[in-house]
Structure 1
């Protein structure tokens, strides 16, 4: 899994994209940049494009993205491999043009019914797609939480995948001190988090991974 941070520029400087010109004036308030794709294939099918900025409904939070990730699910949806993936993402072409599940950023706006978040809050969470953009809308009751003060945006976005899944599994197993656990695939996103969390819970951990990744585990 790779973490992607926002591009930072100094005042008066900018990032110029070859063959790309953004909107001007009032259009900027209604648009955003996003990485989109309209057909399945390798990473090259994706491109940076100016798209309409989402508007939060009454129970949604509009988040300005500071960091996101590219995980195994994003890659599978982009390439539509295995083929069965198309039954969920679109048989001939993608139903949703913007990928990205994990996000961390700052609340830009909230719907009228939102009570747990306010403008300016730093948050992180998971959404089915849409995080590979400057803004994304997330329901208040979805997987969205306030970011810990001691955690960077990059760390918060990355922890949503492996660590969250591993923690859920270990809680379901009711893992405790002195218990023994075997973690298969211990060098992956879920596995590495699982090893660390299991040790934190005081369990006796046996980890299995590819030989080339032994140092990582």
Structure 2
């Protein structure tokens, strides 16, 4: 099969591998599309070095193929699999989706939403699931601020918060203002012109560029700041220290900081399927690259040129 092959951190090529065999609780997928986010870049480069201690491989990547978001068709069923059959159209996460075939645990799959393409479905799992988990507990009428609203997680954050009945403010760069407005944001701030104002019941921080002090001052007493990630740290921790500091800050302030460690489970992806089929959420797909240009897709995301979610079509 054709695949992006990675034997060591910092280097990958487009080549060929044997088709993998599903094990217990797994299925073999004919991959139709794979989502791309900053997580793929981190695992390709092995940076920050913290990711090497989190089970992805210390000296080199455990998976020879990068890519985790996936949509496709079940081609083979492994032992002890129930709930899926050959021919089912699914989406979710796996290890190694930048390939024509990939093995996925059924615990991380759900049926593909009706009415959308495989390309759109591949843009959903990680980014949509992260946004959904970060917005748990939002009530109708509350004010929600989404920082990085034009990116993968942020584009879902705007839509899910609106579906929950919140008043939503999005913050993004100039090129993404149109997208964020089209997603239903009540207010949009172009941070290259002027930063956001006001106070909010919940801030979904997908950008990582604001200080904890700035975020706290923009949050009402008893409100929450959900820290999705930071791309402003060094090679060792990659900004994770901000999450650690926020836990200490929780001891002294009336707002609550929540460093989000999102989970990847089939039932979460099924919640997203329901929202999509109801018309409350639409995958915001930006650039689409062929498999042979998957590494270019990763560079595109790393350069922060992505508007919405970048996808590799197989």
TM range, smaller chain: 0.7 to 0.9
Of 89, 102, 111, the match for 1:136: 102
TM-score by length of 1: 0.75
1:167 and 2:136 are equivalent in the alignment: no
Give 1:135 shift.
1.3
Cα shift at 1:54: 1.4
1:29 paired residue number = none
Match of 2:179 in 1: 216
2:45 matches 1:79: yes
User: Equivalent residue for 1:7?
Assistant: none
Structure 2 portions without partners, runs of 5+: 181-314
- Provide the residue aligned with 1:59 in structure 2: 25
Partners of 1:181 and 1:209 in 2: CA distance: 15
Q: Residue in 2 aligned with 1:191?
A: 154
| Cα distance in 2 between the residues matched to 1:58 and 1:90 | 22
CA RMSD of aligned residues (A): 1.8
Q: Could you tell me whether the CA contact under 8 Å between 2:22 and 2:28 is conserved in 1?
A: yes
How far apart in 2 are the matches of 1:211 and 1:48?
34
Equivalent position of 2:90 in the other structure: 123
Is residue 58–residue 110 contact of structure 1 (8 Å, CA) maintained in 2?
no
Normalising to structure 2: TM-score of the pair? 0.53
Give the deviation of 1:110 after TM superposition. 0.6
Does the Cα contact within 8 Å between 1:180 and 1:204 map onto a contact in 2?
A: yes
**5+ residue gaps, structure 1:** 1-31
Query: Deviating runs (4+, > 6 A) in structure 1?
Result: none
Q: Which of 7, 14, 34 does residue 3 from structure 2 map onto?
A: 34
Partners of 2:14 and 2:5 lie apart in 1 by: 6
